[in-house]
Amino acid sequence: MPNVTLTIDGRQVTVPAGTTVLEAAREAGIFIPTLCHDPLLPGWGACRLCVVEIPGMRNLPASCVTPVAEGMVVYTASEAVIEARRTIIDLLLSNHPMDCLTCEKNGDCRLQDYAFLYGVRQPSFKGEKKNYPLDDSNPYIVRDLNKCILCGRCVRTCQAVPERAVIDFGYRGFNTKVVTAMDTPLGDSSCVYCGRCVAVCPVGALTYKPLAGKGRTWEVEKRPVTCTFCESGCAFDLVVKNGRVIGVMAKEPGPGRPLCLKGRLGLELLYVEEPLKPMLKKDGQFVPVSWAEALGLESILDRMKKVEGKEGR
């Protein structure tokens, strides 16, 4: 594949043809903010926070979906670009709860980081705000749609798993939100609670219930660990506070995102000093179950007993 040479903020950068402006900038160590972009699921371009200025183009294009071209000149921090990003952040904050002090994502929220970076202290747009009830319908994931910025990362990572696609965008205009089939609570859906969506959420719309209130972002350390229950090798992080493992969460970014709940439950049993009692849905209700049942070991034990019984005859 031929290479393309372009200029980004006065610096010449050479990348393979087909590379996006965002990828070229990051390869050169040039910062461009993103909310909806996911390196594993590219080509979305929804939030527009990654806009840049390219002379000759009519508008400010989103760098995550704009391919490089030979001789292209890109400005990532011009006056027009900075103003556009401030306006986008302002619009997002205008329909976003301002409870950062008590939010589980405080210190690990991209919207919060970018508001600080671009000096957006208070939203200037007034009007109706979202007022959805907290979805606390399952033991593992809490959904607060009032904090959702509609970046679509959770939707895309869920749909990336064959035959999964539990969530998608529903309704239109101001009423647009991420929904399950028939807009039922997450606990009533076909969600398997693997945690992929929580791992990629850039704000506090999706959080882990088992970790609620156990530690702020700056109080904990994350240590990578790989699930060995099957050959998929899903990647997780052990959440450590004061030398103790207090929980397990899906690792992001990078490959190896989780595919099921079993891996996280198994790692909790292995590493967490006081693991929570596992819960599984039976007859439409979540009920406490044994660790053997939660990890799918009961059926294996039953088969082994049957084999032993046959061989003993």
For residue 244, give the 3-state DSSP assignment: strand
Q: Which of 131, 114, 115, 125 is nearest to 91 (CA)?
A: 125
Q: Is 164 exposed, middle or buried (0-12, 13-18, 19+ CB in 10 A)?
A: middle
Res. 48 pLDDT band, cuts 50 70 90 = very high
Q: What is the pTM of this model?
A: 0.87
Percent of the chain with pLDDT over 90: 74
If one counts every other C-beta atom within 10 angstroms of the C-beta of residue 225, the result is: 18
Q: Which of 14, 6, 203 is nearest to 103 (CA)?
A: 203
Q: What is the pLDDT of residue 161?
A: 93
Q: Would you say 204 and 147 are in contact if contact means Cβ atoms under 8 Å apart?
A: yes
| pLDDT tens-digit readout, 138-163 | 889 999 999 999 999 999 999 999 99
Q: Would you say 16 and 4 are in contact if contact means Cβ atoms under 8 Å apart?
A: yes
Q: Would you say 50 and 31 are in contact if contact means Cβ atoms under 8 Å apart?
A: no
Task: Round to whole Å and give the CA distance between 36 and 155.
Answer: 11
Q: Would you say 33 and 50 are in contact if contact means Cβ atoms under 8 Å apart?
A: yes
Task: Round to whole Å and give the CA distance between 308 and 313.
Answer: 9
For residues 279-304, give the mean pLDDT.
74
| pLDDT tens-digit readout, 209-255 | 999 999 999 999 999 999 988 888 999 999 999 999 999 999 876 77
For residues 58-62, give the mean pLDDT.
95
For residues 61-78, give the mean pLDDT.
97
Q: Which of 139, 239, 255 is nearest to 196 (CA)?
A: 255
| pLDDT tens-digit readout, 244-277 | 999 999 987 677 889 998 888 889 888 998 777 7
